[in-house]
Amino acid sequence: MGRRDTAVQAALAGLRALLEEKLEPGDKLPTEQHLAELLDVSRGTVREALGVLAVEGSIVRRWGVGTFVASRSDLAQLSMSKIAGFRDRIQAAGHTVDLISSACETAPCPRPVAEALGLPPRDPVWLVTRVFSVDGAAAAYLQDYLPLRLGTDEIDPHPMLDVETDLFRFLEQSGHPAGHAVTDLEAVLASDRGSEALRVAAGFPLVRSLQTVYGRDDEPIAYGITLNRTDIMRIRIIR
Protein backbone atom coordinates (compact mmCIF):
# COMPACT_ATOMS: atom_id res chain seq x y z
CA MET A 1 0.00 0.00 0.00
CA GLY A 2 1.44 3.39 -1.02
CA ARG A 3 1.92 6.33 1.27
CA ARG A 4 -1.09 8.18 -0.16
CA ASP A 5 -3.32 5.09 0.19
CA THR A 6 -2.22 4.80 3.81
CA ALA A 7 -3.07 8.46 4.45
CA VAL A 8 -6.52 8.06 2.91
CA GLN A 9 -7.20 4.94 4.98
CA ALA A 10 -6.13 6.80 8.13
CA ALA A 11 -8.41 9.71 7.21
CA LEU A 12 -11.28 7.30 6.60
CA ALA A 13 -10.78 5.72 10.01
CA GLY A 14 -10.76 9.14 11.66
CA LEU A 15 -13.85 10.31 9.80
CA ARG A 16 -15.77 7.14 10.59
CA ALA A 17 -14.93 7.56 14.28
CA LEU A 18 -16.15 11.16 14.10
CA LEU A 19 -19.43 10.07 12.49
CA GLU A 20 -20.04 7.32 15.04
CA GLU A 21 -18.93 9.06 18.23
CA LYS A 22 -19.59 12.79 17.89
CA LEU A 23 -22.16 13.41 15.16
CA GLU A 24 -25.80 12.47 14.66
CA PRO A 25 -27.73 11.83 11.41
CA GLY A 26 -28.42 15.19 9.80
CA ASP A 27 -25.49 16.99 11.47
CA LYS A 28 -23.30 19.12 9.24
CA LEU A 29 -19.62 18.11 9.01
CA PRO A 30 -16.86 20.67 9.57
CA THR A 31 -15.14 22.15 6.52
CA GLU A 32 -12.51 20.14 4.65
CA GLN A 33 -9.82 22.45 5.99
CA HIS A 34 -10.96 21.97 9.58
CA LEU A 35 -11.12 18.19 9.11
CA ALA A 36 -7.62 18.19 7.59
CA GLU A 37 -6.24 20.00 10.63
CA LEU A 38 -8.17 17.72 12.99
CA LEU A 39 -6.88 14.54 11.32
CA ASP A 40 -3.40 15.92 10.54
CA VAL A 41 -3.64 15.14 6.82
CA SER A 42 -3.82 17.23 3.66
CA ARG A 43 -7.09 18.75 2.46
CA GLY A 44 -6.82 16.62 -0.72
CA THR A 45 -6.65 13.47 1.40
CA VAL A 46 -9.76 14.55 3.31
CA ARG A 47 -11.59 15.24 0.05
CA GLU A 48 -10.72 11.77 -1.25
CA ALA A 49 -11.85 10.11 1.99
CA LEU A 50 -15.11 12.08 1.94
CA GLY A 51 -15.66 10.86 -1.62
CA VAL A 52 -15.43 7.26 -0.41
CA LEU A 53 -17.92 7.93 2.39
CA ALA A 54 -20.31 9.60 -0.08
CA VAL A 55 -20.23 6.55 -2.36
CA GLU A 56 -20.85 4.31 0.66
CA GLY A 57 -23.84 6.44 1.63
CA SER A 58 -22.47 7.47 5.05
CA ILE A 59 -22.58 11.18 4.21
CA VAL A 60 -24.68 13.38 1.96
CA ARG A 61 -23.16 16.24 -0.05
CA ARG A 62 -25.55 19.08 -0.80
CA TRP A 63 -24.05 21.29 -3.46
CA GLY A 64 -23.57 24.86 -2.19
CA VAL A 65 -24.78 23.93 1.31
CA GLY A 66 -22.33 21.47 2.86
CA THR A 67 -21.74 17.85 3.83
CA PHE A 68 -24.05 16.10 6.29
CA VAL A 69 -24.26 12.80 8.13
CA ALA A 70 -26.70 10.66 6.15
CA SER A 71 -29.91 9.29 7.56
CA ARG A 72 -31.98 6.50 6.05
CA SER A 73 -34.43 9.06 4.66
CA ASP A 74 -31.70 10.98 2.82
CA LEU A 75 -31.07 8.37 0.14
CA ALA A 76 -33.59 7.15 -2.38
CA GLN A 77 -33.42 3.40 -2.94
CA LEU A 78 -33.00 2.58 -6.64
CA SER A 79 -33.91 -1.09 -6.87
CA MET A 80 -32.36 -3.00 -9.76
CA SER A 81 -34.27 -6.21 -9.05
CA LYS A 82 -36.90 -5.83 -11.77
CA ILE A 83 -37.51 -4.17 -15.13
CA ALA A 84 -39.01 -0.75 -14.47
CA GLY A 85 -38.40 2.86 -15.41
CA PHE A 86 -36.34 5.20 -13.25
CA ARG A 87 -39.36 7.18 -12.03
CA ASP A 88 -41.36 4.11 -11.06
CA ARG A 89 -38.47 2.59 -9.11
CA ILE A 90 -37.77 5.76 -7.13
CA GLN A 91 -41.42 6.53 -6.44
CA ALA A 92 -41.89 2.98 -5.19
CA ALA A 93 -39.42 3.88 -2.43
CA GLY A 94 -41.56 6.85 -1.38
CA HIS A 95 -39.69 9.72 -3.05
CA THR A 96 -40.87 12.46 -5.41
CA VAL A 97 -39.51 12.37 -8.96
CA ASP A 98 -39.77 15.18 -11.50
CA LEU A 99 -38.48 15.59 -15.04
CA ILE A 100 -36.17 18.63 -15.16
CA SER A 101 -35.34 18.56 -18.87
CA SER A 102 -35.73 16.28 -21.87
CA ALA A 103 -34.78 16.13 -25.54
CA CYS A 104 -35.30 13.71 -28.42
CA GLU A 105 -33.25 13.78 -31.62
CA THR A 106 -31.49 11.58 -34.14
CA ALA A 107 -27.73 11.29 -33.73
CA PRO A 108 -24.81 9.23 -35.08
CA CYS A 109 -24.56 5.95 -33.19
CA PRO A 110 -21.47 5.87 -30.90
CA ARG A 111 -19.33 2.77 -31.27
CA PRO A 112 -20.19 1.18 -27.86
CA VAL A 113 -23.89 1.66 -28.58
CA ALA A 114 -23.49 0.26 -32.09
CA GLU A 115 -21.80 -2.84 -30.69
CA ALA A 116 -24.55 -3.34 -28.12
CA LEU A 117 -27.38 -2.91 -30.64
CA GLY A 118 -25.70 -4.68 -33.55
CA LEU A 119 -25.73 -1.56 -35.75
CA PRO A 120 -23.05 -0.04 -38.00
CA PRO A 121 -21.11 2.69 -36.17
CA ARG A 122 -22.24 6.24 -36.95
CA ASP A 123 -25.58 5.06 -38.35
CA PRO A 124 -28.40 7.37 -37.21
CA VAL A 125 -30.26 6.34 -34.06
CA TRP A 126 -32.74 7.98 -31.75
CA LEU A 127 -31.22 9.63 -28.67
CA VAL A 128 -33.53 10.55 -25.79
CA THR A 129 -31.85 12.63 -23.08
CA ARG A 130 -33.55 13.29 -19.75
CA VAL A 131 -32.59 14.73 -16.37
CA PHE A 132 -34.63 13.72 -13.33
CA SER A 133 -34.78 15.24 -9.86
CA VAL A 134 -35.43 13.30 -6.67
CA ASP A 135 -37.09 15.29 -3.87
CA GLY A 136 -36.18 18.51 -5.67
CA ALA A 137 -32.48 17.81 -6.35
CA ALA A 138 -31.03 16.86 -9.75
CA ALA A 139 -30.27 13.16 -9.31
CA ALA A 140 -30.02 11.24 -12.60
CA TYR A 141 -28.93 11.99 -16.16
CA LEU A 142 -30.27 9.45 -18.67
CA GLN A 143 -29.40 8.88 -22.31
CA ASP A 144 -31.40 6.19 -24.14
CA TYR A 145 -30.46 5.07 -27.65
CA LEU A 146 -32.97 3.30 -29.90
CA PRO A 147 -32.79 2.16 -33.55
CA LEU A 148 -34.90 4.10 -36.03
CA ARG A 149 -36.70 0.82 -36.73
CA LEU A 150 -37.67 -2.10 -34.55
CA GLY A 151 -38.27 -5.02 -36.86
CA THR A 152 -40.18 -3.54 -39.79
CA ASP A 153 -41.72 -0.74 -37.73
CA GLU A 154 -40.47 2.82 -37.75
CA ILE A 155 -40.51 4.20 -34.20
CA ASP A 156 -40.64 7.69 -32.77
CA PRO A 157 -39.72 7.93 -29.05
CA HIS A 158 -40.93 11.53 -28.59
CA PRO A 159 -43.58 10.27 -26.12
CA MET A 160 -40.65 9.65 -23.71
CA LEU A 161 -40.36 13.43 -23.30
CA ASP A 162 -43.41 13.14 -21.03
CA VAL A 163 -42.60 12.17 -17.46
CA GLU A 164 -45.37 9.56 -17.56
CA THR A 165 -43.74 7.56 -20.39
CA ASP A 166 -40.49 5.78 -19.55
CA LEU A 167 -38.49 3.61 -21.94
CA PHE A 168 -40.24 0.37 -21.00
CA ARG A 169 -43.71 1.90 -21.24
CA PHE A 170 -42.84 3.33 -24.67
CA LEU A 171 -41.58 -0.04 -25.91
CA GLU A 172 -44.76 -1.70 -24.67
CA GLN A 173 -46.94 0.89 -26.38
CA SER A 174 -44.98 0.59 -29.62
CA GLY A 175 -45.61 -3.14 -29.79
CA HIS A 176 -42.05 -4.19 -28.93
CA PRO A 177 -42.10 -4.94 -25.18
CA ALA A 178 -38.89 -5.60 -23.29
CA GLY A 179 -38.12 -9.18 -22.40
CA HIS A 180 -35.17 -8.55 -20.11
CA ALA A 181 -32.38 -6.06 -19.48
CA VAL A 182 -28.70 -6.43 -18.61
CA THR A 183 -27.17 -3.62 -16.54
CA ASP A 184 -23.52 -2.99 -15.69
CA LEU A 185 -22.57 -0.54 -12.91
CA GLU A 186 -19.33 1.36 -12.55
CA ALA A 187 -17.97 4.19 -10.42
CA VAL A 188 -17.03 7.34 -12.36
CA LEU A 189 -16.24 10.98 -11.68
CA ALA A 190 -18.45 13.74 -13.04
CA SER A 191 -17.16 15.68 -16.03
CA ASP A 192 -18.46 18.03 -18.72
CA ARG A 193 -22.13 17.55 -19.60
CA GLY A 194 -22.86 15.17 -16.74
CA SER A 195 -21.64 17.58 -14.06
CA GLU A 196 -23.60 20.43 -15.61
CA ALA A 197 -26.81 18.41 -15.88
CA LEU A 198 -26.57 17.10 -12.31
CA ARG A 199 -25.36 20.43 -10.89
CA VAL A 200 -22.23 19.04 -9.29
CA ALA A 201 -18.57 19.95 -9.60
CA ALA A 202 -16.23 18.11 -11.94
CA GLY A 203 -14.75 15.13 -10.10
CA PHE A 204 -17.90 14.47 -8.04
CA PRO A 205 -18.39 10.69 -7.49
CA LEU A 206 -21.19 9.17 -9.57
CA VAL A 207 -22.45 5.71 -10.42
CA ARG A 208 -22.87 5.03 -14.13
CA SER A 209 -25.19 2.30 -15.34
CA LEU A 210 -24.92 0.82 -18.84
CA GLN A 211 -28.10 -1.02 -19.77
CA THR A 212 -28.91 -3.15 -22.80
CA VAL A 213 -32.61 -3.90 -23.22
CA TYR A 214 -33.66 -7.03 -25.13
CA GLY A 215 -37.00 -7.80 -26.75
CA ARG A 216 -39.02 -10.97 -26.33
CA ASP A 217 -36.97 -12.59 -29.10
CA ASP A 218 -33.69 -11.75 -27.31
CA GLU A 219 -32.72 -9.13 -29.90
CA PRO A 220 -31.24 -5.91 -28.46
CA ILE A 221 -33.72 -3.04 -28.87
CA ALA A 222 -32.38 -0.21 -26.71
CA TYR A 223 -29.23 0.91 -24.93
CA GLY A 224 -29.12 3.32 -22.02
CA ILE A 225 -26.46 5.24 -20.11
CA THR A 226 -27.40 6.74 -16.74
CA LEU A 227 -25.36 8.86 -14.34
CA ASN A 228 -26.64 8.68 -10.76
CA ARG A 229 -25.69 11.03 -7.93
CA THR A 230 -24.39 8.98 -5.02
CA ASP A 231 -25.36 11.54 -2.38
CA ILE A 232 -29.05 11.28 -3.30
CA MET A 233 -29.59 7.66 -4.32
CA ARG A 234 -28.48 4.27 -3.10
CA ILE A 235 -28.63 1.48 -5.68
CA ARG A 236 -30.00 -1.77 -4.32
CA ILE A 237 -29.53 -5.06 -6.16
CA ILE A 238 -31.62 -8.01 -4.96
CA ARG A 239 -30.77 -11.45 -6.30
Query: How confident is the model over 42-85, as pLDDT tens digits?
Result: 998 998 888 888 766 788 877 778 899 987 555 555 544 455 67
pLDDT of residue 86: 77
Express as a percent the part of the chain with pLDDT over 70: 89
Burial of residue 103 (number of CB atoms within 10 Å: 0-12, 13-18, 19+): exposed
Q: Average pLDDT in the 95-122 region?
A: 94
Report pTM: 0.67
For 196-217, the pLDDT digits (tens) are: 999 999 899 999 999 999 998 8
Q: What is the pLDDT of residue 80?
A: 44
Query: How many CB atoms sit inside 10 A of residue 66's CB?
Result: 12
Rounded mean pLDDT of 109-117?
95
Report d(CA 157, CA 148) in Å as an integer.
9
Of 230 and 212, more confident = 212
Domains of the chain: 3-69 (1.10.10.10), 76-236 (3.40.1410.10)
Fill in the amino acid letter for 218.
D
Residue type, 136: G
CA angle 142, 220, 83 (to 5 degrees): 55
- Biggest alpha carbon distance in the chain? 65
Instruction: Please give the span between the terminal C-alpha atoms of the chain, in angstroms, as a whole number.
Output: 33
In the prediction, which pLDDT does 51 show? 82
